Amino acid sequence: MNIVSCEIKLNQNNYHELYITVDKMPKFGTYTKQGEIYRSDSPEGFVEYFAYFGPTSGFGGREKQVHMTDGSVEEHIGGWSSRAGVVNNVYNEHVVDVVIMKNVIRSPVDVGAKGAVTLELATRLVAEAGGTLVKIQGKNYIHEGQKVYGDLVYEVHRETPLDKSNYWYSCNCGYETNTPAGITRNCPKCMQKMEIHKGFEFPPPPEESCHVL
């Protein structure tokens, strides 16, 4: 498989994500595990992972044979999709969640598959797409007497020049952004509700151009 292109897009929750277009979807072989997290790396740097800690109704209770790198085979019933922030707490080789799209005729909205890549590949692709990765370590906390580790994630950031001739949003914290018009948004930095501005005038209605005799 080959990577055809990559770009950074603002998703509907006002977060930037890395979209990777490929000619074929990556294939995964055997898995390793750390604690409850199972992981498989493709030769190109794509990563598939999930959580499993015994039979559950996760994934609809699917039955799956998981071939492990040490040659053993595990029989799973269910499992959970997990997320990069959890994987990064148990694996030293960190991953970044991305959206993977196959290079076919695009639907009107860009529909892709949730996926992940190694931090090394993400760093290169995000730079090519004009952005940066910012490491965020979530706070640890106690839940029902158990220590829960905060997610360790790499957020995709891209500064785009603000266009005040269009719709734009501002926050009391100083953050400003253009986003798709007419949608109420919270500030991605402080989560306060942002104020919407309109930098243009709608053109006046056209004058009557024909007369009924």
Task: Provide the minimum distance between the beta carbon of 67 and Zn ion in the complex, in angstroms, as a whole number.
Answer: 47
Query: Site for Zn ion (CB under 5 A): which residue of 4, 127, 148, 190?
Result: 190
Tell me which stretch binds Zn ion (CB under 5 A): 11-19, 42-50, 114-122, 170-178. Answer: 170-178
Tell me which stretch binds Zn ion (CB under 5 A): 2-10, 101-109, 135-143, 172-180. Answer: 172-180
Whether 46 and 120 have beta carbons less than 8 Å apart is answered as no
Nearer Cβ to Zn ion, position 134 or 173? 173
Q: Is 187 in the site for Zn ion (CB under 5 A)?
A: yes
Q: Is 134 in the site for Zn ion (CB under 5 A)?
A: no
Task: Provide the minimum distance between the beta carbon of 176 and Zn ion in the complex, in angstroms, as a whole number.
Answer: 9
Task: Provide the minimum distance between the beta carbon of 58 and Zn ion in the complex, in angstroms, as a whole number.
Answer: 36
Q: What is the DSSP string of the chain?
A: --EEEEEEEE-TTS-EEEEEEESS------BEEETTEEEEE-TTSEEEEEE-SS--SGGGG-EEEEEBTTS-EEEEE--B---HHHHHHH-SS-EEEEEEEESSPPPSS---EEEEEEHHHHHHHHHHTT-EEEEEEPPPEEETTEEEPPPEEEEEE------TTSEEEE-TTS-EE--STT---B-TTT-PBPEEEE-S-PPPPPPP-----
Tell me which stretch binds Zn ion (CB under 5 A): 5-13, 66-74, 138-146, 180-188. Answer: 180-188
Q: Is 169 in the site for Zn ion (CB under 5 A)?
A: no
Tell me which stretch binds Zn ion (CB under 5 A): 5-13, 33-41, 108-116, 190-198. Answer: 190-198
Q: Is 102 in the site for Zn ion (CB under 5 A)?
A: no
Residue 108 tokens read as 């009107």
Stretch 41-60 residues interacting with Zn ion (CB under 5 A): none
Query: Site for Zn ion (CB under 5 A): which residue of 106, 189, 197, 198?
Result: 189
- Using CA atoms, how far apart are residues 200 and 20, in angstroms rounded to an integer? 34
Where along the sequence are the contacts to Zn ion (CB under 5 A)? Answer: 171, 173, 175, 187, 189-190
